[in-house]
């Protein structure tokens, strides 16, 4: 574990600060080690004050719903920030815009947009994460991604400073942004367009049904494992390499959707990551394509 936090950081927080915090229960795979510290701030001022009070070069990582992440078995160094209800508000703005807290889920954002008659954000219904996560990762689903709708975002920097970053500064690419390391997204503005709530709701229902039909949502999984290579579908490459149902330790390639890994039998994070690497090796040998991880892999091995 990293050295003990300075007394100021420990004594003045209003939220919850937990040393040696088990992260397995907070991520979809239900596997992995502990965070040196888990901080769940009471509000924005609490987060800013806590980070401003840190000393030295303390690693900082934000954690949303834990849906697109492998937490390695050795745990995560430094501080993991988890935003709660205080950061989950959604505000309807003029001109078909929404301001959304970094802890708001994709379901909440898309539902608020539907209720306000704002179209163009339905695809967020298909992203199993929070605003903070899919702003950082340029999350996408069903032909659209966050870079299509983001106006700007507010972030708290590792030194506690609050900054507003326009979408252009994030330099988005496929499932990637250049958001500064350790920056915590606390809110974002999205641009939609005027629409009919019934039609918006119908599209959200279609997306939800498509996910339920095609993805292993009721298993311990982490979402799409590999990025789609240009002009290719990752699941087709995995399937063609004979990896459907492939097992390693307690981890398995989903039979339902081969771009999903699942914790089938008390898998360790090492089992899951090693299985992913074996899939990458087999795909490379079969098709010559080098699959890139989409799931974040964090922490100590």
240 and 266 belong to one structural domain? yes
CATH number of the structural domain spanning residue 46: 3.30.43.10
pLDDT surpassing 60 at residue 1: no
Query: Which two three-digit tokens encode residue 3?
Result: 């050295």
Does residue 228 form part of some domain? Answer: no
Q: Tell me which residue range forms the domain holding 25.
A: 7-85
Cβ count near 4 (within 10 Å): 11
CATH number of the structural domain spanning residue 94: 3.30.465.10
**Model pLDDT for residues 25-69, shown as the tens digit of each residue:** 999 999 999 999 999 999 999 999 999 988 878 899 999 999 999
257 and 294 belong to one structural domain? yes
Does residue 224 form part of some domain? Answer: no
pTM of the predicted structure, to 2 decimals: 0.91
Buried b (16+ CB within 10 A) or exposed e, 232-242: eebbebbbebe
Q: In the listed set 36, 62, 85, which residue is the last one of a domain according to the structure?
A: 85
Rounded Cα distance between 199 and 207, Å, is 13
pLDDT surpassing 70 at residue 23: yes
Query: Which two three-digit tokens encode residue 235?
Result: 């699941």
Strand order in the sheet with 76-82: 16-22, 34-40, 76-82, 60-63
Does residue 2 form part of some domain? Answer: no
Does residue 153 form part of some domain? Answer: yes
Q: Which residues are catalytic?
A: 175, 224, 294
Mean pLDDT value across the chain: 94
pLDDT surpassing 80 at residue 3: no
CATH number of the structural domain spanning residue 273: 3.90.78.10
Does residue 250 form part of some domain? Answer: yes
Q: Are 291 and 280 in contact (CB under 8 A)?
A: yes
The string of DSSP letters for 169-185 reads GG--BTTB--PPTT-EE
Q: Are 282 and 241 in contact (CB under 8 A)?
A: yes
> In this structure, is the dihedral angle defined by the CA atoms of residues 131, 273, 299 and 72, taken in order, positive or negative?
positive
121 and 174 belong to one structural domain? yes
Rounded Cα distance between 19 and 5, Å, is 10
Query: Stretch 98-115: mean pLDDT, rounded?
Result: 97
Q: In the listed set 85, 100, 126, which residue is the last one of a domain according to the structure?
A: 85
Provide the number of structural domains found in the chain.
3
Match 């935003």 to its residue by tokens: 83
User: What pLDDT score does 4 carry?
Assistant: 62
User: What pLDDT score does 104 carry?
Assistant: 98
């Amino acid at each position: 574990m990293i050295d003990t936090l300075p007394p100021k950081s420990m004594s003045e927080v209003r939220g919850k600060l937990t040393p040696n915090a088990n992260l397995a229960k907070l991520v979809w795979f239900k596997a992995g080690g502990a965070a040196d510290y888990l901080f769940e701030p009471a509000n924005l001022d609490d987060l800013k004050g806590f980070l401003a009070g840190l000393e030295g070069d303390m690693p900082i990582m934000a954690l949303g719903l834990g849906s697109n992440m492998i937490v390695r078995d050795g745990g995560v160094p430094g501080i993991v920030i988890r935003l709660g209800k205080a950061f989950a508000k959604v505000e309807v703005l003029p001109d078909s815009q929404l301001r959304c807290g970094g802890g708001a889920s994709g379901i909440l954002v898309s539902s608020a947009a539907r209720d306000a008659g704002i179209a163009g954000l339905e695809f967020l219904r298909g992203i199993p994460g929070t605003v903070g996560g899919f702003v950082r990762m340029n999350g996408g689903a069903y032909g659209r991604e966050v870079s299509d709708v983001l106006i700007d975002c507010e972030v708290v920097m590792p030194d506690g400073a609050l900054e507003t970053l326009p979408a252009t500064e994030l330099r988005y690419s496929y499932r990637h942004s250049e958001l500064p390391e350790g920056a915590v997204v606390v809110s974002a503005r999205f641009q939609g367009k005027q629409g009919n709530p019934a039609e918006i709701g119908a599209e959200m229902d279609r997306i939800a049904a498509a996910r339920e039909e095609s993805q292993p949502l009721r298993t311990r999984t982490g979402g799409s494992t590999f990025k789609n290579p240009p002009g290719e579908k990752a699941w087709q490459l995995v399937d063609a390499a004979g990896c459907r149902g492939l097992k390693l330790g307690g981890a398995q390639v989903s039979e339902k959707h081969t771009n999903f890994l699942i914790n089938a039998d008390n898998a360790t994070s090492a089992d899951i990551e090693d299985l992913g690497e074996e899939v990458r090796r087999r795909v490379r040998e079969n098709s010559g394509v080098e699959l890139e991880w989409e799931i974040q892999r964090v922490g100590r091995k």
